[in-house]
Amino acid sequence: MVKLYYPINQIKGMPWNRIILIILIVVISYHGFKTTVPKGASQKGEIRNSEVEFIYDLTYEKNEALVHEQHIFPKIKKMIKNAQNFIVIDMFLFNDDYDHENGYENISGELTDSLIEQKKKVPGLQIVFITDEINIFYGSYPSKYLERLRNNGIQVVITDLEKMRDSNPLYSGLWRPVFKNLDTKGEGYFLIPLAQIPLMLRYLHI
Protein backbone atom coordinates (compact mmCIF):
# COMPACT_ATOMS: atom_id res chain seq x y z
CA MET A 1 0.00 0.00 0.00
CA VAL A 2 1.20 3.53 -0.81
CA LYS A 3 1.41 5.89 2.18
CA LEU A 4 1.51 9.60 1.44
CA TYR A 5 2.70 12.04 4.10
CA TYR A 6 2.26 15.77 3.55
CA PRO A 7 2.19 18.61 6.12
CA ILE A 8 -1.33 20.08 6.50
CA ASN A 9 -0.12 23.66 6.22
CA GLN A 10 1.52 22.93 2.87
CA ILE A 11 -1.66 21.32 1.53
CA LYS A 12 -3.72 24.41 2.43
CA GLY A 13 -1.53 26.62 0.29
CA MET A 14 -1.21 24.18 -2.56
CA PRO A 15 -2.92 24.88 -5.92
CA TRP A 16 -5.96 22.72 -6.67
CA ASN A 17 -4.35 21.18 -9.73
CA ARG A 18 -1.54 19.77 -7.60
CA ILE A 19 -3.98 18.41 -5.03
CA ILE A 20 -5.96 16.67 -7.79
CA LEU A 21 -2.72 15.30 -9.25
CA ILE A 22 -1.70 13.87 -5.87
CA ILE A 23 -5.13 12.24 -5.44
CA LEU A 24 -4.87 10.65 -8.89
CA ILE A 25 -1.36 9.38 -8.15
CA VAL A 26 -2.56 7.77 -4.90
CA VAL A 27 -5.56 6.12 -6.61
CA ILE A 28 -3.43 4.91 -9.52
CA SER A 29 -0.76 3.54 -7.19
CA TYR A 30 -3.22 1.70 -4.97
CA HIS A 31 -5.53 0.15 -7.55
CA GLY A 32 -2.91 -0.39 -10.23
CA PHE A 33 -0.06 -1.78 -8.19
CA LYS A 34 -1.62 -3.34 -5.08
CA THR A 35 -0.07 -6.75 -4.52
CA THR A 36 -3.01 -8.68 -3.07
CA VAL A 37 -5.09 -10.80 -5.42
CA PRO A 38 -8.04 -13.02 -4.51
CA LYS A 39 -7.20 -16.39 -3.03
CA GLY A 40 -7.29 -19.03 -5.72
CA ALA A 41 -6.63 -16.63 -8.60
CA SER A 42 -3.24 -18.26 -9.15
CA GLN A 43 -3.06 -22.04 -9.02
CA LYS A 44 -0.32 -24.50 -9.85
CA GLY A 45 -1.35 -28.04 -10.63
CA GLU A 46 0.00 -31.29 -11.96
CA ILE A 47 0.97 -31.33 -15.64
CA ARG A 48 -1.17 -33.99 -17.31
CA ASN A 49 0.72 -34.15 -20.59
CA SER A 50 -0.51 -37.68 -21.30
CA GLU A 51 -4.07 -36.30 -21.63
CA VAL A 52 -3.28 -33.50 -24.08
CA GLU A 53 -4.88 -33.44 -27.52
CA PHE A 54 -3.93 -30.70 -29.97
CA ILE A 55 -6.92 -29.48 -32.00
CA TYR A 56 -6.46 -26.73 -34.56
CA ASP A 57 -8.12 -24.66 -37.27
CA LEU A 58 -6.51 -23.71 -40.56
CA THR A 59 -7.23 -20.74 -42.81
CA TYR A 60 -5.34 -20.42 -46.06
CA GLU A 61 -5.60 -19.50 -49.73
CA LYS A 62 -5.91 -22.14 -52.42
CA ASN A 63 -6.45 -21.38 -56.09
CA GLU A 64 -7.05 -17.72 -55.15
CA ALA A 65 -9.86 -18.73 -52.78
CA LEU A 66 -9.90 -18.56 -48.99
CA VAL A 67 -10.21 -21.99 -47.37
CA HIS A 68 -11.30 -22.59 -43.76
CA GLU A 69 -10.58 -25.94 -42.13
CA GLN A 70 -12.38 -25.98 -38.81
CA HIS A 71 -11.64 -28.69 -36.27
CA ILE A 72 -12.03 -26.94 -32.91
CA PHE A 73 -15.71 -26.02 -33.03
CA PRO A 74 -16.92 -29.38 -34.43
CA LYS A 75 -15.01 -31.09 -31.60
CA ILE A 76 -16.68 -28.83 -29.02
CA LYS A 77 -20.14 -29.57 -30.46
CA LYS A 78 -19.43 -33.30 -30.38
CA MET A 79 -18.36 -33.16 -26.73
CA ILE A 80 -21.50 -31.20 -25.83
CA LYS A 81 -23.69 -33.73 -27.63
CA ASN A 82 -22.11 -36.59 -25.64
CA ALA A 83 -22.23 -34.85 -22.24
CA GLN A 84 -24.50 -36.41 -19.62
CA ASN A 85 -23.41 -34.99 -16.26
CA PHE A 86 -21.39 -31.79 -16.37
CA ILE A 87 -20.15 -29.17 -18.86
CA VAL A 88 -17.80 -26.28 -18.10
CA ILE A 89 -17.06 -23.83 -20.92
CA ASP A 90 -14.79 -20.82 -20.52
CA MET A 91 -14.92 -18.45 -23.51
CA PHE A 92 -13.44 -14.98 -23.59
CA LEU A 93 -15.18 -13.71 -26.75
CA PHE A 94 -18.80 -14.80 -27.13
CA ASN A 95 -20.69 -12.40 -29.38
CA ASP A 96 -21.43 -11.54 -32.99
CA ASP A 97 -19.93 -8.06 -32.93
CA TYR A 98 -18.25 -8.17 -36.33
CA ASP A 99 -18.84 -7.11 -39.90
CA HIS A 100 -21.59 -9.50 -41.02
CA GLU A 101 -20.88 -8.78 -44.68
CA ASN A 102 -17.73 -10.94 -44.41
CA GLY A 103 -19.83 -14.10 -44.17
CA TYR A 104 -18.31 -15.52 -40.99
CA GLU A 105 -20.07 -18.37 -39.25
CA ASN A 106 -22.17 -17.41 -36.24
CA ILE A 107 -20.26 -19.64 -33.84
CA SER A 108 -21.68 -17.95 -30.73
CA GLY A 109 -25.23 -18.58 -31.92
CA GLU A 110 -24.51 -22.19 -32.89
CA LEU A 111 -22.81 -22.91 -29.57
CA THR A 112 -25.76 -21.40 -27.70
CA ASP A 113 -28.15 -23.63 -29.66
CA SER A 114 -26.03 -26.73 -28.95
CA LEU A 115 -25.91 -26.10 -25.20
CA ILE A 116 -29.64 -25.41 -24.95
CA GLU A 117 -30.50 -28.46 -27.08
CA GLN A 118 -28.40 -30.78 -24.91
CA LYS A 119 -29.80 -29.25 -21.71
CA LYS A 120 -33.33 -30.02 -22.94
CA LYS A 121 -32.35 -33.59 -23.86
CA VAL A 122 -30.65 -34.17 -20.49
CA PRO A 123 -32.48 -31.97 -17.93
CA GLY A 124 -30.15 -33.09 -15.12
CA LEU A 125 -27.08 -31.94 -17.03
CA GLN A 126 -25.29 -29.16 -15.14
CA ILE A 127 -23.76 -26.53 -17.42
CA VAL A 128 -21.54 -23.67 -16.28
CA PHE A 129 -20.65 -21.06 -18.89
CA ILE A 130 -17.81 -18.68 -17.91
CA THR A 131 -17.09 -15.56 -19.93
CA ASP A 132 -15.74 -12.02 -19.79
CA GLU A 133 -17.43 -8.64 -19.35
CA ILE A 134 -16.26 -7.65 -22.84
CA ASN A 135 -19.33 -9.49 -24.19
CA ILE A 136 -21.63 -7.00 -22.46
CA PHE A 137 -19.04 -4.25 -22.92
CA TYR A 138 -18.59 -3.89 -19.17
CA GLY A 139 -22.28 -3.40 -18.42
CA SER A 140 -23.19 -1.22 -21.39
CA TYR A 141 -25.71 -3.62 -22.95
CA PRO A 142 -27.04 -7.18 -22.45
CA SER A 143 -25.92 -10.19 -24.49
CA LYS A 144 -28.72 -12.00 -26.32
CA TYR A 145 -26.74 -15.24 -26.20
CA LEU A 146 -26.03 -15.09 -22.48
CA GLU A 147 -29.67 -14.23 -21.81
CA ARG A 148 -30.80 -17.26 -23.81
CA LEU A 149 -28.48 -19.50 -21.81
CA ARG A 150 -29.80 -18.14 -18.51
CA ASN A 151 -33.42 -18.49 -19.62
CA ASN A 152 -32.83 -22.17 -20.35
CA GLY A 153 -31.39 -23.09 -16.96
CA ILE A 154 -27.71 -22.73 -17.80
CA GLN A 155 -25.51 -21.03 -15.22
CA VAL A 156 -23.66 -18.03 -16.66
CA VAL A 157 -20.65 -16.68 -14.76
CA ILE A 158 -19.19 -13.33 -15.80
CA THR A 159 -15.71 -12.90 -14.35
CA ASP A 160 -15.64 -10.24 -11.62
CA LEU A 161 -12.63 -8.16 -12.61
CA GLU A 162 -13.12 -5.63 -9.80
CA LYS A 163 -11.30 -7.97 -7.43
CA MET A 164 -8.18 -8.02 -9.61
CA ARG A 165 -5.47 -5.45 -10.12
CA ASP A 166 -6.27 -2.70 -12.58
CA SER A 167 -4.76 -3.59 -15.93
CA ASN A 168 -4.99 0.03 -17.13
CA PRO A 169 -3.76 1.93 -14.04
CA LEU A 170 -3.28 5.28 -15.78
CA TYR A 171 -6.80 5.27 -17.22
CA SER A 172 -8.47 3.71 -14.18
CA GLY A 173 -6.89 6.32 -11.91
CA LEU A 174 -9.06 8.92 -13.63
CA TRP A 175 -12.05 6.60 -14.00
CA ARG A 176 -12.46 5.61 -10.34
CA PRO A 177 -12.70 9.07 -8.70
CA VAL A 178 -14.45 10.87 -11.60
CA PHE A 179 -16.59 8.65 -13.84
CA LYS A 180 -17.21 5.36 -11.98
CA ASN A 181 -20.48 6.38 -10.29
CA LEU A 182 -22.02 7.83 -13.45
CA ASP A 183 -24.71 5.87 -15.31
CA THR A 184 -22.89 4.52 -18.35
CA LYS A 185 -25.39 1.88 -19.50
CA GLY A 186 -27.24 1.98 -22.79
CA GLU A 187 -26.57 4.01 -25.91
CA GLY A 188 -24.18 6.94 -25.82
CA TYR A 189 -21.91 8.97 -28.05
CA PHE A 190 -18.74 6.93 -28.67
CA LEU A 191 -18.40 4.54 -31.59
CA ILE A 192 -16.22 1.49 -30.97
CA PRO A 193 -15.25 -1.48 -33.20
CA LEU A 194 -16.80 -4.05 -30.82
CA ALA A 195 -20.33 -2.67 -30.76
CA GLN A 196 -22.91 -1.83 -33.39
CA ILE A 197 -24.31 1.11 -31.41
CA PRO A 198 -22.62 4.18 -29.91
CA LEU A 199 -21.87 3.75 -26.21
CA MET A 200 -21.15 5.80 -23.14
CA LEU A 201 -17.62 6.02 -21.77
CA ARG A 202 -16.62 2.78 -20.04
CA TYR A 203 -13.64 1.61 -18.05
CA LEU A 204 -11.83 -1.04 -20.06
CA HIS A 205 -10.33 -3.85 -17.99
CA ILE A 206 -8.05 -4.93 -20.82
Q: Say which residues have a Cβ less than 8 Å from residue 78's Cβ, sequence separation at least 6.
A: none
Number of domains in the chain: 2
Q: What confidence score (pLDDT) does residue 186 get? A: 62
CA–chain centroid gap for 164, Å, is: 13
What span, in angstroms and rounded, lies between the C-alpha atoms of 144 and 94? 10
Q: What per-residue confidence (pLDDT) applies to 206?
A: 44
Pair (32, 56) in one structural domain: no
30 and 54 in a common domain:
no
**What is the band of 2 on the pLDDT scale with cuts at 50, 70, 90?**
very low
Domain carrying residue 16? 1-36
Residues 187 and 107 in one domain: yes
- Does the pTM of the predicted model rise above 0.85? no
Is residue 176, in this structure, part of any structural domain at all?
no
Q: Are residues 95 and 1 part of one domain? A: no
How far apart CA 144 and CA 157 sit, in angstroms, is 15
% pLDDT > 70, the chain: 65
Q: What is the pLDDT of residues 89-130, one digit of tens each?
A: 999 989 887 766 766 788 899 999 999 999 999 999 999 999
Segment 151-165, tens digit of pLDDT: 999 999 998 877 777
